[in-house]
A and B are shown apart, each in its own frame.
With several copies, the nearest count.
Chain A
Amino acid sequence: MIAKFYESLYRIRRVEEEVAKVYPTDKIKSPVHLSIGQEAVAVGVCEALQPEDIVFITYRSHAAYLAKGGNLKAMIAELYGKVTGSAKGKGGSMHLVDVANGIMGASAVVGTTIANSIGYAYGVKLKRQNNIVVCFFGDGATDEGVFYESMNFAALKKLPIIFICENNGYAIHTAQAKRQSVPDIAAKAAVFGMPIERLGDDVLHLYERISAAVETLRSGGTGPFFFECETYRWKEHVGPSEDYNAGYRAKTEAEPWMQQDQVQKFAMMLDPQQRQQIEQAVEIEIAEAFEFAENSPFPPDAELYDGVFA
């Protein structure tokens, strides 16, 4: 399990580092919102899921996409705007999707996928499917009215869904306390009548707690479940750089998070040889994915008008 978790964590971290490295070459002409530092939540949650389970993600979801099993080559090609991308170059970094692996897409408009996820969960329940829906969103999304409307409906209909609020304390550069009169997001879900829990970014603990919720749902128990997961974004809101000198936050705020970096932590738990094996395999896979993206063609002009309607 440790090895599997490490592989996922390391892979996500390295993919995003590569994205950040390539970015200044202007080969990726798409706004990238890196989740470096936030990998733990994606991995802890997605490891508790099965391939047929469904996730709804956000523009900052390279991590969740990969953790859920999203196709890496298609992702990098999508960032490059290539026709081999997950959306044929018509989505970009903010709209990753991989239906075959249960990834139902990501929106650049904050909060919208929360509403989509409850509809999907309603469908799952109506059709008596046995899979589970998970919806990822940020603390910023909980400022939006649609968040509350969705919590109410999910609780009213007892939907088989798990909400994951990735609370990294900021919406762009605005701290939560400047936007929310009370910072306790989980409490705002709890008033609608659902079990809540506050978690950090300890992958194993996340995995354990999410697994318990999944187990309940899988065995016919009712949802929804709500988890508020504290985490921290290491990079700037959008783009490949750091921005601790911008004035809205101090590096000292980040340091405790960096010290408990889950990627490092899991690395330490493995014996060096096994670790090296994992890392090597990942590096090869990543190199291949970027090569694939580089070598793939841009979509032909005719694609412009293709697929407006199904």
Chain B
Amino acid sequence: MMNRNNVSYVDAISEATAQEMAYDPSVIVFGLDVDDHKAIQGTTKGLLAKFGPDRVFGTPLSEDAMTGAAIGMAMCGLRPIHVHIRMDFMMLAMNQLVNIAAKTHYMYGGQIRLPMVVRSMIGKSWGQGAQHSQGLYSFFMHVPGLKVVAPTTPFDAKGCLISAIRDNNPVVYVEHRILHFQKGPVPEELYEVGPGKARITAAGSDITLVGISHMQIECLRAKHYLQEKGINAEVIDPIWLSPLDVDTIAASVRKTGHLLVVDNDWATCGASAEIMAAVTERLQGEMRFTVHRMGFANTSCPPTPSLEYLFYPNGRTVAAKAFDILKGSAQNWLPNERPDLKEIEFRGPF
């Protein structure tokens, strides 16, 4: 028997998929390698055996046409889940996603709706390098007509996927390779974690840390580091990036007076810029507060371990930045690495 308190993110995804497929025969899963023995890191494991090759199938390397096909399937009343093993490959699918999927319902005056999910994974570590490590979800946040979700916990991985599958619109479902190794409680039954509700993952009063996708983990680590200095950070996981729950974040900043958004992506025109802007729009004039962001270094991701480490924010650098925000810039405090804060991390090799 599965220990429901210790379910992996990977199993949460495959379970959600299998349950929805059993519940609704219009749900199908396809994409490169969803049906091989690796089963997209296990996230599609068992589906082929259970639901057969018509509802679970690998595809040619044809991201553009397969995205278009997902749209056509949705038009025909299916609820396709199209899977990419790397988010980077979605750059081949931008035309169908931006020009067709996002616009179909509106542009056809409501005659057609597109219930479809596009799953993809952000890579990290083991020198995957420039083309396998990008979090490009801000592109999809930018375009009206698409929803975007990036769950962090196994619980949300399941609930958000179910919600995404049942949504009557195109949903971009963002996973992070490192999050796949997260474990936690996941109810057996079907449940939804729907759009538009952020989660306060740790209460606090001094500063609001918003951590997106894997950076949620780093923010939780940062909270511990900051406690060493007597700072009590509130941590928020936006979960759904589009629509974005600005209310919850703004309410927190109303309390703490400071916002630090830590993104799993570049900052420029990214989700972190958006959250800063949206919170500012909400609160300016009402009170004094500050807004800040961290994200990927403004370069391509270098594979060599030393530079790769510098490329990403981590719990310590997030804590250092938060400390600077509260105590004045360039305090040069950087906490020592604490082994007790290392959850299991995927380290390769691939």
Which residue numbers of A lie inside 8 Å of B, CB to CB?
A: 23, 26, 29-31, 56, 81-82, 85-95, 97-99, 104-105, 107-124, 126-127, 140-141, 143-146, 149-150, 152-153, 156, 171-174, 178-180, 238-239, 246-248, 298-299, 301, 303-310
CB-CB under 8 A from A308, the residues of chain B are: 105-106, 144-145, 298-300
CB-CB under 8 A from A238, the residues of chain B are: 350
Q: Report whether B169 and A153 are in contact in the complex, using a CB–CB cutoff of 8 Å.
A: no
B63, B168, B169, B307: residue with the most chain A Cβ atoms closer than 10 Å: B307
Nearest chain A CB to B53's CB is how many angstroms away?
Answer: 10
B71 — nearest CB in chain A belongs to which residue?
Answer: A116
Nearest chain B CB to A128's CB is how many angstroms away?
Answer: 10
One of A81, A88, A122 near B127 (C-beta < 8 A)? A81
Q: Report whether A115 and B108 are in contact in the complex, using a CB–CB cutoff of 8 Å.
A: no
Give the size category of B's interface with A: 35 or more
Q: Report whether A31 and B107 are in contact in the complex, using a CB–CB cutoff of 8 Å.
A: no
- In the docked arrangement, what's the CA distance between A57 and B95, Å? 17
B37, B91, B113, B349: residue with the most chain A Cβ atoms closer than 10 Å: B349
Q: Report whether B75 and A140 are in contact in the complex, using a CB–CB cutoff of 8 Å.
A: no
Interface SS of chain B: loop
Q: Report whether B298 and A92 are in contact in the complex, using a CB–CB cutoff of 8 Å.
A: no
CB-CB under 8 A from B73, the residues of chain A are: 119-120, 122-123
- 9 other contacts beyond A104-B112, A109-B89, A309-B168, with CB at 8 A cut-off? A119-B80, A143-B61, A150-B69, A173-B36, A180-B60, A301-B307, A304-B297, A305-B297, A308-B106
A95 — nearest CB in chain B belongs to which residue?
Answer: B107
Question: Is B208 positioned at the interface, with any CB of A under 8 Å from its CB?
Answer: no
Can you name 10 A-B pairs with beta carbons within 8 Å?
A: A99-B112, A114-B65, A115-B72, A119-B70, A144-B62, A145-B65, A149-B60, A174-B36, A301-B310, A305-B297
Q: Report whether A91 and B109 are in contact in the complex, using a CB–CB cutoff of 8 Å.
A: yes
CB-CB under 8 A from B320, the residues of chain A are: none
Question: Is B152 positioned at the interface, with any CB of A under 8 Å from its CB?
Answer: no
- In the docked arrangement, what's the CA distance between A248 and B35, Å? 11
- In the docked arrangement, what's the CA distance between A81 and B132, Å? 16
CB-CB under 8 A from B298, the residues of chain A are: 305, 308
CB-CB under 8 A from A304, the residues of chain B are: 297, 299, 302, 307, 310-311
- In the docked arrangement, what's the CA distance between A309 and B113, Å? 8
Q: Report whether A115 and B65 are in contact in the complex, using a CB–CB cutoff of 8 Å.
A: yes
Q: Which of the 9-residue segments B8-16, B96-104, B183-191 touches chain A?
A: B96-104
The 5 closest A-B CB pairs, nearest first, are: A115-B68, A119-B72, A123-B76, A81-B304, A89-B304
A82 — nearest CB in chain B belongs to which residue?
Answer: B304
Nearest chain B CB to A199's CB is how many angstroms away?
Answer: 23
CB-CB under 8 A from B110, the residues of chain A are: 88, 306-307, 310
A116, A120, A298: residue with the most chain B Cβ atoms closer than 10 Å: A116
B349 — nearest CB in chain A belongs to which residue?
Answer: A239
Evaluate whether A88 and B109 lie within 8 angstroms (CB atoms) in the complex, with A29-B305, A115-B68, A146-B64 already known: yes
One of B36, B78, B299 near A126 (C-beta < 8 A)? B78
- In the docked arrangement, what's the CA distance between A26 and B92, Å? 32
Q: Report whether A112 and B96 are in contact in the complex, using a CB–CB cutoff of 8 Å.
A: yes
CB-CB under 8 A from A141, the residues of chain B are: 61
Evaluate whether A107 and B100 lie within 8 angstroms (CB atoms) in the complex, with A89-B302, A145-B65, A304-B310 already known: yes
Q: Report whether B100 and A116 are in contact in the complex, using a CB–CB cutoff of 8 Å.
A: yes
Nearest chain B CB to A154's CB is how many angstroms away?
Answer: 9
Residues 292-315 of B, flagged 1 when their CB comes within 8 A of A and 0 if not, give 000001111011111100110000
Evaluate whether A126 and B55 lie within 8 angstroms (CB atoms) in the complex, with A31-B128, A92-B129, A310-B169 already known: yes
- In the docked arrangement, what's the CA distance between A30 and B107, Å? 14
Q: Report whether B96 and A301 are in contact in the complex, using a CB–CB cutoff of 8 Å.
A: no
- In the docked arrangement, what's the CA distance between A179 and B61, Å? 8
Q: Report whether A89 and B72 are in contact in the complex, using a CB–CB cutoff of 8 Å.
A: no
Nearest chain B CB to A299's CB is how many angstroms away?
Answer: 6
Q: Report whether B107 and A87 are in contact in the complex, using a CB–CB cutoff of 8 Å.
A: yes
Residues 201-235 of B, flagged 1 when their CB comes within 8 A of A and 0 if not, give 00000000000000000000000000000000000
One of B64, B131, B348 near A108 (C-beta < 8 A)? B131
Q: Report whether B106 and A90 are in contact in the complex, using a CB–CB cutoff of 8 Å.
A: yes
- In the docked arrangement, what's the CA distance between A299 and B76, Å? 28
A97 — nearest CB in chain B belongs to which residue?
Answer: B108
Q: Which of B151-180 contact A (CB under 8 A)?
A: 168-169
CB-CB under 8 A from B300, the residues of chain A are: 90, 308
- In the docked arrangement, what's the CA distance between A144 and B58, Å? 15
- In the docked arrangement, what's the CA distance between A99 and B350, Å? 28
B300, B303, B305: residue with the most chain A Cβ atoms closer than 10 Å: B303
Q: Report whether A91 and B303 are in contact in the complex, using a CB–CB cutoff of 8 Å.
A: yes
A108 — nearest CB in chain B belongs to which residue?
Answer: B131
Question: Is B138 positioned at the interface, with any CB of A under 8 Å from its CB?
Answer: no
Evaluate whether A298 and B37 lie within 8 angstroms (CB atoms) in the complex, with A123-B73, A153-B59, A309-B169 already known: no
- In the docked arrangement, what's the CA distance between A105 and B74, Å? 13
Residues 256-296 of B, flagged 1 when their CB comes within 8 A of A and 0 if not, give 00000000000000000000000000000000000000000
CB-CB under 8 A from A93, the residues of chain B are: 127
Nearest chain A CB to B55's CB is how many angstroms away?
Answer: 7
B110 — nearest CB in chain A belongs to which residue?
Answer: A307
Evaluate whether A153 and B65 lie within 8 angstroms (CB atoms) in the complex, with A108-B131, A298-B304 already known: yes
Nearest chain B CB to A145's CB is how many angstroms away?
Answer: 6
Q: Report whether B78 and A123 are in contact in the complex, using a CB–CB cutoff of 8 Å.
A: yes
CB-CB under 8 A from A150, the residues of chain B are: 62, 65, 68-69
B54, B65, B68, B129: residue with the most chain A Cβ atoms closer than 10 Å: B65
One of A99, A149, A173 near B37 (C-beta < 8 A)? A173
CB-CB under 8 A from B76, the residues of chain A are: 119-120, 122-124, 127
Question: Is B336 positioned at the interface, with any CB of A under 8 Å from its CB?
Answer: no
Q: Report whether B108 and A31 are in contact in the complex, using a CB–CB cutoff of 8 Å.
A: no
Evaluate whether A174 and B58 lie within 8 angstroms (CB atoms) in the complex, with A115-B71, A123-B76 already known: yes
- In the docked arrangement, what's the CA distance between A89 and B77, Å? 25
Evaluate whether A299 and B307 lie within 8 angstroms (CB atoms) in the complex, with A118-B69, A123-B76, A149-B62 already known: yes
